[in-house]
């Protein structure tokens, strides 16, 4: 699909590809939804399955064909005509068939043979992803008020992990969320799990027993989304401040086109004017920045999960391996020490038990010289 | 990344193979299509995928196939494309079924196709399309594919695709029968109006033509000439391989010229100049690589640098034990190991 100059009679709400085909042009989501609904019949996007005989009868009536002709048509165009093997000899669909003629199959066979020669059959990403995928589909609610209405839009949003790991340069680790158009940005914000929200600040080598009961999430509640030149700030709590203000004042001072602000809790996703496939920004904790890309916008379908309670729905998540204790390599690390005379490396990770055994005596006195910080592992959300 | 691009290419070439065979039947009947489908055992394209790969592959193959349902392909290919997505949708192994994505900008083309098929009374095509709509096979989206801001290398359009494109019919469409009738009526009226200004005697003395002679006939002559020229071009290009009617297509003038230019260039640079007589024993070797193949597999002109690890492995050779120690990273984890008896004593810190 080459990028073409939009013709003059195209309404601005019909998105085209932008130059480079990596993303679409800007469009207003609700207008897109209305455009689609105006062009479709309600039966096209309804969630109910209709009666097939009624459909055939209507078709025959509309085309003015006889019953025999209709029967012949049904027979010719049925799935039976596409059956490649006789009914009782269906080969196993999980296995590549013998003597494949299609190029895709030849290549697939080669890959399968190669994979079976490797020792590791599945990696950790696949193990959980299969499970997640199964949960995402065909959930029907019991109560009618929880049902997703027909004609609503579903957005698929990728939220990428902050680019602070050197390891993740060539792979783009992300979380994929499905959201309804009628949901607001705050619901998106609440669904994003970032470990920087759970960080506890402070040095606790002298008082390891004081369980830190506050996390960064409770301290620093401000956050914003940045879409198409507008900062959407979270102002739900009295502690929230407008952290986008510094950027806006800088922009004004430096001759950039100015940006505007809005409230996150007042903006529904359908009110946004965005590009599909274009990276935007989510910033929280003052400096933890995530790239947000809206990968897909479409009308709801009968095979989607139709229960409102489940949205925002997580469909894909990159698993990060957990860091374990350096001593026992069994438990997940809870403490991180620096300048530690007992530790082989700087910094070094310990689980709770090993930490206390190594650094404190039986009475709980601190032995030696070190600094200890509570550590939240990046794989905490696995 | 290379693997997924290769897979795209294979899927596309399989679809084009099927559509090329369908094109040769010169008909738009579903029976012919299903016969070819059964011959090629196309339903097997889904076999061998497992788990999540089923949905991903169904998505890929439906996206690839949907392109053939839209303009600028010829009507027969579009019908073939419709049957193809119908077949793929029904035969896919993923459950629940993966839907067919239709972008808002393409919906008009779909409706236009339905209208054409209705007008020509191709009942099977209309029935298939209506069935897909009835079965809620379509997902109504903003863009044809989900976009993640990945810059893809330009996908080479295969040579075969050019044969599927409908021939340009601008002049024919502009001057169809109704337009010609109206044009000739208006022309007559115009001529009469202009000549009524002068008396017959004055008209003879005027040396000029007041209107163009026989404008409608000449226009028609031009259009027919254009059509004949197109046909001749196509015949030349396909070397008599093609059948007639809507299946064939005209290659655009510009692409022919571009190909001519590229062939000249490849001859100029691909072939090294012959060495002079005195140095004939040192003829320059020419790499007999595929210069202007139909689908250049590597879009990138700069060659990929071999990774540091591979280069180190290549260049640095350390013997035996020291090499093993040098390559395994120092692990600060596992400082202790569960004591399993005498064997554990041998395992030191790595």
Q: What is the pLDDT of residue B113?
A: 92
Query: Does residue A121 register a pLDDT over 80?
Result: no
Q: What is the pLDDT of residue A124?
A: 64
- Most confident by average pLDDT, A239-243, A344-348, B122-126: B122-126
Q: How far apart are CA A326 and CA A355, in angstroms?
A: 10
Beta bridge partners of B141: A298, B103
Q: What is the pLDDT of residue A18?
A: 78
In this structure, the number of other CB atoms found within 10 A of the CB of residue A367 comes to 11
Whether A102 has its CB under 8 Å from any CB of chain B: the answer is: yes
Of B49, B103, B333, the CB nearest to A326: B333
Residues of B within 8 A of A107 (CB-CB) are 6-7, 10
Q: What is the pLDDT of residue A189?
A: 92
The residue behind tokens 């989510």 is A282
Q: What is the pLDDT of residue B318?
A: 67
Mention every residue, 6+ apart, whose C-beta is less than 8 A from residue A374: A200, A202, A204, A212, A334, A335, A336
Give me B32's structure tokens.
């012919």
Q: What is the pLDDT of residue B247?
A: 34
pLDDT tens track for B245-292: 333 334 445 566 777 777 776 666 544 444 445 554 544 444 343 333
How much is the mean pLDDT over chain A? 82
Q: Which of A22, A79, A173, A298 should one mutate to test binding to chain B, selecting the residue with the greatest count of B CBs within 10 A?
A: A298
Evaluate whether B157 touches B114 at the Cβ level (below 8 Å): no
Query: Does residue A13 register a pLDDT over 60?
Result: yes
Evaluate whether A44 touches B110 at the Cβ level (below 8 Å): no
Residues of A within 8 A of B45 (CB-CB) are 102, 104-105
Q: How far apart are CA A374 and CA A334, in angstroms?
A: 6
Q: How far apart are CA A109 and CA B186, in angstroms?
A: 68
∠A195-A196-A198 over CA atoms, to 5°? 70
Q: What is the pLDDT of residue A181?
A: 92
Please state which of the ranges A108-112, A127-131, B129-133 shows the lowest mean pLDDT.
A127-131
Rounded to an integer, the average pLDDT of A357-362 is 85
**CB contact residues (below 8 A), chain B span 110-129, against chain A:** 123-124, 126-128
Please state which of the ranges A288-302, B53-67, B112-126, B303-317 shows the lowest mean pLDDT.
B303-317
Residues of A within 8 A of B104 (CB-CB) are 14-15, 32, 35-36, 39
Q: What is the pLDDT of residue A167?
A: 60
Rounded to an integer, the average pLDDT of A243-259 is 88
Residue B136 burial (C-beta neighbours within 10 Å; 0-12, 13-18, 19+): buried
Instruction: Write out the H or E segment, with its range, that includes residue A174.
Output: strand A174-180
Q: How far apart are CA B251 and CA A242, in angstroms?
A: 59
Beta bridge partners of A180: A154
Considering just the CA atoms, what is the radius of gyration of chain B in Å?
A: 32
Of the candidates B161, B105, B155, B124, the one whose C-alpha atom is nearest the C-alpha of residue B32 is: B124
Please state which of the ranges A79-93, A346-360, B24-38, B259-273 shows the lowest mean pLDDT.
B259-273
Whether B324 has its CB under 8 Å from any CB of chain A: the answer is: no
Evaluate whether B74 touches B246 at the Cβ level (below 8 Å): yes
What A287-292 contacts at long range (C-beta under 8 Å, 24+ apart), as own/partner pairs, is: A288/A162, A288/A194, A288/A196, A289/A162, A290/A159, A290/A160, A290/A161, A290/A162, A290/A192, A290/A194, A291/A159, A291/A160, A291/A163, A292/A157, A292/A158, A292/A159, A292/A160, A292/A225
Rounded to an integer, the average pLDDT of A144-153 is 82
Please state which of the ranges A194-198, A318-322, A347-351 shows the lowest mean pLDDT.
A318-322
Query: Does residue B31 register a pLDDT over 80?
Result: yes
**What's the pLDDT band for B342 if we cut at 50, 70, 90?**
low
Cis peptide bond prior to B204, omega within 30° of 0:
no
Task: For residue B349, give how far its alpha carbon lies from the nearest alpha carbon of chain A (Å).
Answer: 12
**CB contact residues (below 8 A), chain A span 18-47, against chain B:** 20-24, 27, 32, 35-36, 39-40, 43-46
Task: For residue B350, give how far its alpha carbon lies from the nearest alpha carbon of chain A (Å).
Answer: 13
Q: What is the pLDDT of residue B334?
A: 61
Give me B183's structure tokens.
């044009």
Q: What is the pLDDT of residue A141?
A: 57
Q: Which of A104, A349, A355 should one mutate to test binding to chain B, selecting the residue with the greatest count of B CBs within 10 A?
A: A104
Whether B131 has its CB under 8 Å from any CB of chain A: the answer is: yes
**What's the pLDDT band for A339 if we cut at 50, 70, 90?**
confident
Please state which of the ranges A32-41, A102-111, A236-245, B335-344 shows the lowest mean pLDDT.
B335-344
Phi, psi of B174 (to 5 degrees): -65, -40
A11: nearest CA in chain B?
A: B105
A293 or A382, greater pLDDT: A293
Q: Could you tell me whether strands A313-317 and A174-180 are parallel, antiparallel, or unpaired per DSSP bridges?
A: antiparallel
Query: Does residue B227 register a pLDDT over 80?
Result: yes
Residues of B within 8 A of A296 (CB-CB) are 141-143, 146-147
**What's the pLDDT band for A287 if we cut at 50, 70, 90?**
confident
A40 or A211, greater pLDDT: A40
Evaluate whether A290 touches A36 at the Cβ level (below 8 Å): no
Query: Does residue B241 register a pLDDT over 60?
Result: no
> 3-class secondary structure for chain B?
CHHHHHHHHHHHHHHHHHHHHHHHCCCCCHHHHHHHHHHHCHHHHHCCCCCHHHHHHHHHHHHHHHHHHCCCECHHHHHHHHHHHHHHHHHCCCCCCCCEEEEHHHHHHHHHHHHHHHHCCCHHHHHHHHHHHHCCCEEEECCCCCCCCCCCCCCCCCHHHHHHECCCCHHHHHCCHHHHHHHHHHHHHHHHHHHHCCCHHHHHHCCCCCCCCCHHHHHHHHHHHHHHHHHHHHHHHHCCCCCCHHHCCCCCHHHHHHHHHHHHHHHHHHCCCCCCHHHHHHCCCCCCCCCCCCCCCCCCCCCCCCCHHHHHHHHCCCCHHHHHHHHCCCCCCCCCCCCCCHHHHHCCCC
- Model-wide pTM > 0.80: no
- Tell me which DSSP letter residue A206 carries: S
Q: How far is CA B46 from the centre of its chain?
A: 21
Q: Determine, for residues B44 and A102 on separate chains, whether the beta-carbon distance falls below 8 Å.
A: yes
Q: What is the pLDDT of residue B284?
A: 45
Q: What is the pLDDT of residue B254?
A: 57
Q: Assign A22 to helix, strand or coil.
A: coil
pLDDT above 70 covers what percent of chain B?
67
Residues of A within 8 A of B71 (CB-CB) are none
Of the candidates A265, A346, A317, the one whose C-alpha atom is nearest the C-alpha of residue A136 is: A317
Q: What is the pLDDT of residue A10?
A: 53
Rounded to an integer, the average pLDDT of A253-279 is 90
Rounded to the nearest 10°, the torsion over CA B145, B148, B154, B157 is -10
Task: For residue A129, give how far its alpha carbon lies from the nearest alpha carbon of chain B (Å).
Answer: 8
Of A100, A129, A298, the CB nearest to B139: A298
Q: How far apart are CA B95 and CA B97, in angstroms?
A: 5
Residues of A within 8 A of B107 (CB-CB) are 36, 39
**What's the pLDDT band for A295 if we cut at 50, 70, 90?**
very high
Count how many Cα atoms sit within 13 Å of the Cα of residue B321 in the half-sphere of its side chain: 1
Please state which of the ranges A139-148, A297-306, B255-264 shows the lowest mean pLDDT.
A139-148
Q: How far apart are CA A31 and CA A120, in angstroms?
A: 49
Q: What is the pLDDT of residue B169?
A: 65
Beta strands (DSSP E) in A300-382 are 313-317, 335-338, 348-350, 371-374
**Polymer length in residues for chain B:** 350
Give me B78's structure tokens.
């579009």
Q: What is the pLDDT of residue B85?
A: 93
pLDDT tens track for B120-152: 988 889 999 999 999 999 999 998 888 888 776
**What's the pLDDT band for B21 if we cut at 50, 70, 90?**
very high
Whether A124 has its CB under 8 Å from any CB of chain B: the answer is: no
Q: How far apart are CA B1 and CA A379, in angstroms?
A: 26
Please state which of the ranges A248-252, B56-60, B159-163 shows the lowest mean pLDDT.
B159-163
In this structure, the number of other CB atoms found within 10 A of the CB of residue B194 comes to 12
Q: Could you tell me whether strands B100-103 and B138-141 are parallel, antiparallel, or unpaired per DSSP bridges?
A: parallel
In this structure, the number of other CB atoms found within 10 A of the CB of residue B57 comes to 22
Whole-complex ipTM: 0.83
∠A187-A321-A208 over CA atoms, to 5°? 85
Q: What is the pLDDT of residue A196?
A: 84
**Polymer length in residues for chain A:** 382
How much is the mean pLDDT over chain B? 75
Alpha-helical regions (H) of chain A: 29-39, 42-45, 52-63, 67-76, 103-117, 124-136, 185-191, 216-219, 245-253, 352-359
Beta bridge partners of A154: A180, A298
Whether B93 has its CB under 8 Å from any CB of chain A: the answer is: yes
């Amino acid at each position: 699909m080459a990028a073409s100059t939009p013709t003059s009679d195209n309404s601005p709400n019909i998105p085209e590809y932008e130059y480079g085909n990596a993303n679409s042009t800007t469009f207003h989501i609700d207008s897109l939804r209305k455009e689609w609904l105006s062009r479709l019949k309600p039966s096209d996007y309804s969630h109910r399955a209709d009666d097939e005989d009624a459909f055939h009868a209507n078709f025959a009536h509309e085309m003015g064909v006889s019953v025999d002709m209709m029967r012949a048509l049904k027979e010719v165009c049925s799935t039976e005509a596409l059956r490649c093997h006789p009914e009782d000899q269906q080969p196993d669909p999980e296995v590549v068939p013998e003597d494949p003629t299609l190029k895709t199959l030849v290549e697939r066979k080669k890959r399968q043979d190669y994979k079976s020669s490797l020792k590791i059959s599945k990696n950790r990403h696949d193990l959980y992803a299969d499970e997640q995928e199964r949960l995402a589909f065909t959930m029907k609610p019991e109560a009618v008020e929880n049902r997703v209405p027909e004609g609503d839009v579903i957005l698929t949003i990728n939220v990428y992990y902050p680019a602070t790991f050197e390891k993740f340069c060539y792979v783009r680790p992300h979380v994929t969320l499905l959201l309804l158009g009628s949901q607001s940005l705050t619901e998106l914000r609440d669904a994003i799990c970032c470990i920087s929200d759970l960080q506890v600040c402070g040095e606790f080598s002298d008082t390891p027993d004081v369980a830190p009961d506050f996390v960064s999430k409770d301290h620093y509640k401000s956050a914003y989304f940045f879409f198409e030149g507008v900062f959407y700030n979270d102002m739900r709590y009295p502690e929230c401040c407008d952290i986008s203000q510094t950027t806006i004042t800088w922009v004004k001072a430096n001759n950039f086109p100015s940006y505007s602000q809005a409230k996150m809790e007042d903006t529904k996703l359908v009110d946004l004017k965005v590009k599909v496939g274009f990276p935007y920004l989510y910033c929280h904790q003052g400096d933890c920045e995530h790239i947000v890309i809206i990968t897909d916008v479409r009308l709801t379908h009968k095979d989607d999960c139709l229960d409102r309670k489940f949205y925002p729905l997580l469909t894909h998540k990159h698993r990060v391996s957990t860091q374990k204790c350096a001593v026992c390599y069994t438990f997940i690390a809870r403490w991180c020490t620096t300048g530690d005379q007992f530790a082989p490396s700087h910094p070094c990770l310990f689980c709770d038990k090993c930490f206390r055994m190594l650094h404190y005596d039986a009475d709980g006195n601190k032995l030696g010289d070190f600094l200890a910080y509570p550590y939240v592992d990046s794989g905490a959300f696995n | 990344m290379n693997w997924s691009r290769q897979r795209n290419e294979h899927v596309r070439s399989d679809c084009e193979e099927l559509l090329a065979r369908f094109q040769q039947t010169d008909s738009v009947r579903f029976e012919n299509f299903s016969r070819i489908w059964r011959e090629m055992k196309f339903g097997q394209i889904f076999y061998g995928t497992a788990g999540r790969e089923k949905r991903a592959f169904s998505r890929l193959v439906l996206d690839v196939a949907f392109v053939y349902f839209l303009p600028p392909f010829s009507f027969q290919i579009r019908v073939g494309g419709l049957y193809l997505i119908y077949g793929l949708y029904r035969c896919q192994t993923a459950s629940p079924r993966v839907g067919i994505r239709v972008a808002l900008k393409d919906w008009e083309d779909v409706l236009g196709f339905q209208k054409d098929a209705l007008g020509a009374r191709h009942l099977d095509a209309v029935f298939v399309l209506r069935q897909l709509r009835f079965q809620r096979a379509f997902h109504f989206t903003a863009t044809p594919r989900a976009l993640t801001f990945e810059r893809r290398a330009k996908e080479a359009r295969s040579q075969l695709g050019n044969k599927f494109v409908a021939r340009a019919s601008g002049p024919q469409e502009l001057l169809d029968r109704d337009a010609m009738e109206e044009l000739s009526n208006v022309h007559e009226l115009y001529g009469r109006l202009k000549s009524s200004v002068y008396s017959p005697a004055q008209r003879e003395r005027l040396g000029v033509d007041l209107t163009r002679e026989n404008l409608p006939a000449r226009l028609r002559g031009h259009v027919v000439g254009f059509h004949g020229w197109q046909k001749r071009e196509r015949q030349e290009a396909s070397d008599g391989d093609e059948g007639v009617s809507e299946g064939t297509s005209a290659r655009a003038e510009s692409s022919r010229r571009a190909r001519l230019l590229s062939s000249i260039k490849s001859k100029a640079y691909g072939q090294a100049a012959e060495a002079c007589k005195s140095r004939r024993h040192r003829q320059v070797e020419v790499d007999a690589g595929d210069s202007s193949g139909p689908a250049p597999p590597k879009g990138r002109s700069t060659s990929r640098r071999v990774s540091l690890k591979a280069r180190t492995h290549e260049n640095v050779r350390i013997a035996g034990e020291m090499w093993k120690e040098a390559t395994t990273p120092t692990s600060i984890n596992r400082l202790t190991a569960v004591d399993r008896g005498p064997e554990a004593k041998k395992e030191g810190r790595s």
